[in-house]
Structure formats: C-alpha cells, structure tokens
Chain A
Amino acid sequence: MSYTINVNGTPHTVDIDGDTPLLWVLRDTLDMKGSKFGCGMGLCGACTVHINGTPTRSCITPVSTVGKAQITTIEGIGSSDTGRKVQDAWLTTDVAQCGYCQAGQIMAATALLTANQKPTDQDIDNAMSANLCRCATYTRIRAAIKLAAGLPITDSREI
C-alpha cells in the first residue's frame, strides 16, 4: 500500500504495509536513524516524534494513521527556535551519556517548552517522566530544560 507522509516539511511516498509503525518507516525506509527503537511498546520514549506538534510514540503509531499530518523528527527539530535552543542546551549541559534516548528526550522537552515557556519542576516531571534514560541523566535533562527556558539552575554541582 502506498502512503505519502510529510516529514520535516518534505513529502515522502512509501510503499509499505499499513500496520508498519512510523518508526520503522522513518528508520529503515527513509533512512532517518535519529528516532530510536527502545521498547516497541510506547514505554520508553526513545522513538518520540512530533505529529502536528504533539509528542508521539512512533513505535506504536501505524503509518496508515498518520495521513497528512506534519511529522517532525530529531533531524528536523533544530529548524524551530525552541528545538534549536533545546539542542544547544543539551550540548552546553553535556546531558548525554550513551546518548541513545536523547533524541526522544529532546523531542519531549521541545514539546514541553513550546507549550509552556516557563515550566516548574513539577511540569518538567510530568512532561518528561514517560521518557526513560537508562544512564539516568535526569538531573542534567532537568538543568538543560531550565537553561533552554532561561530559568535559574540552583546549584551547578547538582546538575
């Protein structure tokens, strides 16, 4: 079956089974390797993309359900001001350890800051707790989100 999906502003036509998750279309059909396979169950968030701005688990989103929606991936998130700021904050704060989950974390964080420019700690917990980091870089993620939002970081030794 043929589907035309819009990824980072570009339409792509793919011939693929409709139940194929968007993740595998992105990774293996379109060769965009940034979105990661972590669990395939929507539990870890490594595959997070934006569909019309909403953070979405691409590993459990069949390509047949995407339609004409605008899909944004980690490869394209830097074209928005907020996405770019989040990426920069991730570099400045040295968030990544292994780095495998960080594409999903950045997508979740960008969605948070797009909707809420000055999140509280509780807002950050709520928005980010569905994204797993096995290296447990959570304190750095929190600091990077605050940096991107222009919020104060209380103690540099704690980040």
Chain B
Amino acid sequence: MSISHSTEAVSRRAFLSVSAVAGGGMLLSFTIPQLADASIPLGITDAPPADNTSVINAYVNIYADNRIVISSKVPEIGQGIKTSLPMIIAEELDADWNTVHIVQAPLDAKLYGAQFAGGSFSTPLNWEPLRRAGAAARAMLITAAAKTWRVPESECTTSFGKVQNAAGKSLTYGQLAAKAAKLAPPDLKTLTLKDPKNYTIIGRSISGIDNPKVVTGQPLFGIDVTVPGMRYAVFQKCPVFGGKVVSANVEEIKALPGILNVFLVAPEGPTGLPDGMAMGLQSGVAIVASSWWQANKALDSLKVVWDEGPVASQSSAGFAAKALELSTQTPHRVIRKDGDAKAALAGAAKTVEAAYSYPFVAHSPLEPQNSTAVFKDGKLEIWSPTQNPGSGKTLIAKTLGLADDAVTVHMTRCGGGFGRRLGSEFMVEAAMIAKMQGEPVKLLWNRNQDLQHEFYRPGGFHYFKAGLDAQGELIAFTDHYVGYENNGKPSNSADLAATEFPAKYVKDLEFATSTQQLGVPTGPMRAPGSNAHAFVFQSFVDEVAHAAGKDPLQYRIDLFAQERAAPPPPPPAGKGPPGGGRGGFPMGPPFSGKRAQGVLEMVRDKSGWGKRQLPKGTGMGVAFYYSHLGYFAEVVQATVRPADGSIKVDKVWVVGDVGSTIINPFGALNQCQGAALDGISQALGARITIDRGRVAQTFPEYPLLRMYQAPPVQVDFKLTPNSPTGLGEPALPPVIPALCNAIFAATGTRIRSLPIDTTLLKSTST
C-alpha cells in the first residue's frame, strides 16, 4: 500500500459542443481538460511524457425514435466499464435505460482523450465529467421543451426519457432531440446534478451490456475478427528473453501442408526490452498459412539457430542467491528515513525479524494474444484486444515508419486483461507480419507462447525488522527490499513506494532498497506492486501483532489511530508520488486512517471475527490494504489438512470503501469476488521460474484456480462521503496476506514465501 499525499482534484473546466445528426437527432460532444495520468505510461518509454492536460469525451446520440446511443470510450477487458460508464451518463440524462444502446468508441485521441483500461482509473476519472455530460444533455432537452410549450424551464421536469410540464403535457427525448441539437450548450459549471437519492439507474444491478452475445457465442473478441483475404500466422520468438534469430529451416517449413510463407522478423534484434510496457518488435520467425492449425503445427518442425544473448545466464535460483547476498550488505539506497530506526530497534523491548519473498507471476488471460492486421496503400489497420490502444498505435507507427494517422486501431472486447494487454508487442508483430506478407494476417499466439513470452509481475525479497516497546506498541520498523533494475532504473512494477504502510504510523522507520540486474520483461499486473507488497507488509504486521500478544485485527485499527511521523513533502506538481499506478494517483483525497479503520471494523463484524468457535486446523486471518484509492479489509477462513498440508479456503469476507456510490452493484460485486479469487489463485499456485534466461513452466505447470477451490466471497461496501473510485484492482492485494495469516492461525506456521508450500503445513496443525 502506498499512501498518496496528492490532493489535486480533477479540473472542473469543461467545454461542450453539440450538433445535429442525420435523422433528426442530437449529438452531444463533451470535452473536459483535466489532469493527465502521471502514473501510467501511455506511450513507449522514449516517447515524450504526457503533458499535464488530457482530454476526455463522452458521446451521447439521441435519435428521433427515442434510441439513445452512448459511446463507451474505454476498452472492455471484463471490468464492466462498458456498462457502468454509460450508466453514469444515462442517470443524469434521466434516460429510460431500456432505450439506451451502448457502442464501443473508436480510438480517437482528439475526440476522447486517453483511452486505456488500467490503474482502476476509469471510474474516478470519469465520474464527474460524465455526470455533467448527461446533465448538459438533459438541460438542453428541457430548454427545447420549454420553448416548444412557451413555458418557463422551471416548470419542466424529466423522467424516463421524457420532459413533462406542469400542465401535464409531455414530449419524448426523441421528439425533442432535433430542436435541442440547435441550442447552445449550457455552462457546465452551473449545471445542477441530481441528488443521489433520486438515482434510478446508478445503484441498480445491471447485467453486462454484451452478455446476450457472450451467452449465445456471437463474435466479440479479438480472436473472432475476420477480414477478407485473411491469412493466419504464428510467430516463434527466442525462448531466452532478448535473444535474436540467426537462421531457420525456412525452405523445409515452406514445403509443409498449407504453409504459404516463412520469414525472419527483426533479425537485428528486439527493441524495447525488458520493460513490459515498452516491449517492441521481437526477433523471430513468422509462419504464414492458410489455416492457423497448419501454421501452429509447423512449429513442431521448425528448427531455429538463436543468438540467446546475455539473459541466458539468468535464473530464479541465481536471483535468490544474489538477493541473500545483497541483504547482508549496505542497501543501495534509502528511500525513506523517519527518526532513527536502528537506535529504536536497539532500545526495543522486543524485536521481530523475518525474510519474505515472492516469485515472478504471469497474467495468463484466457484469450491468447492476437491481432488482425491489414497493410494496404501505406496504411495499417488493426483489430486488437488491447487495454492500451493508443500506445499500440504509436508503437506500430514508429516501428513500421508510418505517420500516426496512417495507423487505425479498432478495440475489440478483451478475453481478460489483468494488465497484460497494456503491452503492445503482439500488435506490432501482427502489423509487421502483415506488412511483410503483403496480405491481411491474423496473428495468434499459442498457449505456451503466451505463458512464456509475457511480461511478468516481478518477484522480490524483503528483509524486515520491527521493534516493540514493553506495551507491545510498534516503535521501530525497517525493510530492506531487494528488487530488480534495468539499466539503473527499477524494473517496471518492481518499485517500492516510500509511502508504503506502516510509513507515517511508526515514529522511527526506514525503507531501503537494493537491486540486481534483470533481463526478464516485467510490468503491471492487476494492482501492480500492491499485489506483492500487501503480502509481505501485511503478513509481517501480523507477525508483529502476534509478538505483541494482541489481536491482529484490533492491532491494525490501533495503528491507524494516530500518525506518528511527519508526512514526506508533497510530490512536484503534476507528478504522482513514487509507486506509479498504485496509491500514486494524480488525484483524489489524501489517505485517511479513519477510512482504513472503518473497513477493518466492518469486516470484523461481518465475519464474526474472534466470536466464532472454529474447529482444530481452521483459522481466520485478516489484512488491510489501500490501493487505487480504495480501502479494503478482508478476512479469510481456511482449513489445513494435517495429513498432506492441503489448504481449503472456506470463505472470504471483503469490505471495501470506494466512496459514496456503487454505480453498478452487479459489476462491483463481480470485480471484488474475482479479485479476491484471483489473489487466492496466485497464493496457491502461481509461480514463473526463470531458468537459463527462459521460462521453465508450460501451461499445464502453471495452475490457475478451479471451481472446486473457489470459496464463497461475501462482499460488503462501506459507503462514505467521498467521490466513487475504481474496483478492478483494490480488492486483490489484501486477500493474499489474509489467507497466509489464516494459515498461521490454523497451524502456527508462518507463510513467508509464495506460492504457499503445502509441505510446510504437513502435520503441523495437529
């Protein structure tokens, strides 16, 4: 958890324009300049940094037949945003939801500003502007009706897609749209927004807008795209990250059934490694065939001579040995120093010491990476399941030597994202292969390629010390975090924020880091940074609570009662604090200990914490984490079988505070349940091992959670008077330490490394 001290609010300046559409309708274009996302790099790394303003648009189309078509600007990756953002507009518009149709907006930076799915940004960034967009459209419809009836606007009201007046007359929005479209748009600042108690759409459980297509198998995803004359391609890259192709048995492969072409791509070597967000075109062999099955089958016969490069000497075992060595040396850098932690430790009544570690983890979305590309007349058109279409567009233009406007990106629904599709290398591969082939190409990775050529959640090592006074109060805390670097910079998503809890809540505290060189690509995975740091910090705080002889849930509540160190200076204007994409939001209120206490108290009550008699071998664990502006306290109940150490997760209680309003309870619950189970999946089985510079696991060796392992997840929200924030990520981090703490409660064995090694739990719970 990194605690943000940035308080800069979203700009309220906004512009509005309106125009008529064919068929007597109204098109409302809403533009709001606002603070740029300083944390998520939207371009490749050598692109200039985003400036301080970006533009957000929402489109409302109202047709004469009363259809209201709302464009959803952000990619849909399963987070439900294609349903929830239009709900915000429709609410303030006072639309009849049954007449609302939702379409995916095209990628168009001029119209829509930043279009990406990441950082749980979509809700907090769009809550205010989209409400105003809806309210502006409603105000114009009222004006049109008032003019028609020659009555004051104050006598007009709206409901369910109609304007009514005091005399009982009514006109539908469709009847008014053509007239409204001719009006000057209102001043957004003077618009009155609805009182939340009058909401009829926000707060309703609405099933995902694409669900009817999902359950009937209609084409929706990137992999489903077909274009005329399309060929199928596979692309084999060097198993060692950063390696390059020297030669291959090209002629032999060309002779196989269905194979149309075989060629080397980027034999000079890849660009942009090893930062997953910036991975460029990789070096390898493309096989183009008349069917994907034939192309993929030809891989069995492909023989390639690779230049494996320097990363071939790296391994997970080597990283662990080096981390241990670095842990005994002076840290490379101190990132936070409050008071004198070493002196406080020396004077402590009791000290606790522990080493924690976690592995590299793959995203493994179920839809393998793919794109369909057409290169024609110097222009590239591509259909991609991407979370980050703008970045993909820039990468393609740069790599193919095209102007930005010669590249058209179509966003398709994504078969899972989890951060994986913030990278764009599969897009540029498809684009280059289509260009070299001179025909439309669908590139599809096979499942093992998808697992072994990811960018990964980076592993890491933490060496903690804590000091307690005679009353058990936490008076000293140090962490030496050994992570990774690439060319002197922390590897993507491998940084530690200076604001990580318990910073600020312990008087004498020191965070130090050391790094070792890494050639394996890393990048953001659902709740980046937080998904690892929650495990180590919230497990170690649990150890501290037990050492103090206190209840671990109450201990956390007590810690948040009082800030004990001065906060660090605020970050420079326009830049978030370190910890990009996590607590480091470029907006939002400062971290609130009271909100943290609120969710801890609520999860205590919901779970029956400390009040239920549990059988032997069963325990409950708690953790709290703040990320993406969301406060989450979670309790896990788990049972360990002593005979084999196997773990059964019995139940999870999730309590979240994401502000005043849950926009779509269906989507909100789904995200929290999915995030909690995603975390359990990671804790139980997710591990990517690097051996000789390559991934050791194949898909069958990378277990993901199955139905029989999935416990019920009870979700409750604590509503607080704060602006609503996102839910794609913040429910994930605390579930991992809550599970590990439950295992400790059940067995007395402390889990300090992931995934959980069940051999440690054999017979220990007797």
Instruction: Provide the residues of chain A in CB contact with B215, threshold 8 Å.
Output: 74, 87, 90-91, 96, 102-103, 106
A35 touches B707 (CB 8 A): no
| A window 38-76: CB within 8 A of B | 38-41, 43-44, 46, 73-75
B705 touches A91 (CB 8 A): no
A158 touches B367 (CB 8 A): no
Query: Among the listed A21, A44, A75, which residue makes an inter-chain contact with B217, where contact means beta carbons less than 8 Å apart?
Result: A75
Query: Among the listed B416, B666, B707, which residue makes an inter-chain contact with A142, where contact means beta carbons less than 8 Å apart?
Result: B707
Interface flags for B353-376 (1: CB within 8 Å of A; 0: not) read 000000000001111100000000
Instruction: Provide the residues of chain B in CB contact with A5, threshold 8 Å.
Output: none
Q: Give CA–CA (A30, B524) in the complex, Å.
A: 38
B217 touches A99 (CB 8 A): no
Interface flags for B322-348 (1: CB within 8 Å of A; 0: not) read 000000000000000000000000000
Interface residue count for B (Cβ, 8 Å)?
66
Q: Give CA–CA (A43, B708) in the complex, Å.
A: 15
Instruction: Provide the residues of chain A in CB contact with B292, threshold 8 Å.
Output: 24, 28
A129 touches B706 (CB 8 A): yes
| Chain A min CB distance to B439 (Å) | 16
B212 touches A141 (CB 8 A): no
Instruction: Provide the residues of chain B in CB contact with A129, threshold 8 Å.
Output: 706-708
Q: Give CA–CA (A73, B215) in the complex, Å.
A: 11
A136 at the binding interface (Cβ < 8 Å): yes
B443 at the binding interface (Cβ < 8 Å): no
Interface flags for B258-283 (1: CB within 8 Å of A; 0: not) read 10000000000000000000000000
Query: Among the listed B223, B674, B700, which residue makes an inter-chain contact with A36, where contact means beta carbons less than 8 Å apart?
Result: B223
B217 touches A96 (CB 8 A): no
Instruction: Provide the residues of chain B in CB contact with A147, threshold 8 Å.
Output: none
A116 at the binding interface (Cβ < 8 Å): no
The number of residue pairs between A and B whose CB atoms lie closer than 8 Å in the complex comes to: 180
Instruction: Provide the residues of chain A in CB contact with B77, threshold 8 Å.
Output: 98
Q: Across the two chains, which residue of chain B brings its CB closest to A138?
A: B710
| Chain B min CB distance to A128 (Å) | 4
Instruction: Provide the residues of chain A in CB contact with B366, threshold 8 Å.
Output: 36, 38, 44, 46, 98, 100-101, 132-134
| B window 698-754: CB within 8 A of A | 699-700, 704-708, 710, 712-716
B254 at the binding interface (Cβ < 8 Å): no
Instruction: Provide the residues of chain B in CB contact with A97, threshold 8 Å.
Output: 78-80, 208, 670-671, 674
Q: Give CA–CA (A14, B489) in the complex, Å.
A: 55
Q: Give CA–CA (A115, B364) in the complex, Å.
A: 32
Q: Across the two chains, which residue of chain B brings its CB closest to A34?
A: B217
| Chain B min CB distance to A7 (Å) | 12
Instruction: Provide the residues of chain B in CB contact with A140, threshold 8 Å.
Output: 670, 673
A138 touches B226 (CB 8 A): no
Q: Give CA–CA (A159, B435) in the complex, Å.
A: 48
Which of A32, A39, A95 has the largest number of chain B CB atoms within 10 A? A39
| Chain B min CB distance to A104 (Å) | 10
| Chain B min CB distance to A118 (Å) | 18
B561 at the binding interface (Cβ < 8 Å): no
Instruction: Provide the residues of chain B in CB contact with A36, threshold 8 Å.
Output: 221, 223, 366-367, 415
B766 at the binding interface (Cβ < 8 Å): no
B678 at the binding interface (Cβ < 8 Å): yes
Q: Give CA–CA (A139, B215) in the complex, Å.
A: 17
| Chain B min CB distance to A24 (Å) | 5
Q: Give CA–CA (A40, B710) in the complex, Å.
A: 24
Q: Give CA–CA (A126, B707) in the complex, Å.
A: 9
| Chain A min CB distance to B663 (Å) | 14
B68 at the binding interface (Cβ < 8 Å): no
| A window 70-124: CB within 8 A of B | 73-75, 78, 87, 90-92, 94-103, 106, 124
Q: Across the two chains, which residue of chain B brings its CB closest to A39?
A: B447
B211 touches A96 (CB 8 A): yes
| Chain A min CB distance to B97 (Å) | 15
A98 touches B78 (CB 8 A): yes
Instruction: Provide the residues of chain A in CB contact with B415, threshold 8 Å.
Output: 36, 98-100
Instruction: Provide the residues of chain B in CB contact with A136, threshold 8 Å.
Output: 673-674, 677-678, 681, 705, 710
Q: Across the two chains, which residue of chain B brings its CB closest to A99?
A: B214
Interface flags for B526-557 (1: CB within 8 Å of A; 0: not) read 00000000000000000000000000000000
| Chain A min CB distance to B755 (Å) | 16
Q: Across the two chains, which residue of chain B brings its CB closest to A89?
A: B215
Q: Give CA–CA (A102, B415) in the complex, Å.
A: 10
Q: A99 with B210: in contact, given A17-B294, A36-B223, A87-B216 (CB under 8 Å)?
A: yes
Query: Among the listed A34, A95, A126, A137, which residue makes an inter-chain contact with B218, where contact means beta carbons less than 8 Å apart?
Result: A34
Q: Give CA–CA (A94, B670) in the complex, Å.
A: 8
B314 at the binding interface (Cβ < 8 Å): no
Q: Give CA–CA (A117, B221) in the complex, Å.
A: 32
B219 touches A99 (CB 8 A): no
| Chain A min CB distance to B728 (Å) | 10
Q: Across the two chains, which residue of chain A brings its CB closest to B417?
A: A98
| Chain A min CB distance to B76 (Å) | 8
Query: Among the listed B413, B418, B674, B707, which residue makes an inter-chain contact with A99, where contact means beta carbons less than 8 Å apart?
Result: B413
| Chain A min CB distance to B719 (Å) | 15
Instruction: Provide the residues of chain B in CB contact with A157, threshold 8 Å.
Output: 669, 714-716
Instruction: Provide the residues of chain B in CB contact with A21, threshold 8 Å.
Output: 293
A100 touches B416 (CB 8 A): yes
Q: Give CA–CA (A125, B710) in the complex, Å.
A: 9
Task: Beyond the given A99-B415, A158-B714, please list 13 additional residue pairs across the A-B interface where CB-CB is below 8 A.
Answer: A17-B293, A24-B293, A34-B218, A36-B367, A40-B296, A41-B699, A94-B208, A96-B208, A100-B221, A100-B416, A125-B708, A130-B706, A133-B366
List 29 A-B pairs, Cβ < 8 Å.
Answer: A16-B291, A32-B217, A34-B216, A34-B218, A35-B217, A37-B368, A38-B367, A40-B296, A73-B217, A74-B216, A74-B217, A90-B214, A92-B207, A94-B207, A94-B666, A94-B667, A98-B414, A98-B417, A100-B416, A101-B366, A103-B215, A126-B708, A128-B707, A133-B366, A135-B678, A136-B677, A136-B678, A140-B670, A157-B669
- Give the top 8 A-B pairs by smallest Cβ distance, nearest first: A34-B217, A98-B78, A100-B415, A74-B217, A136-B677, A138-B710, A99-B214, A97-B78
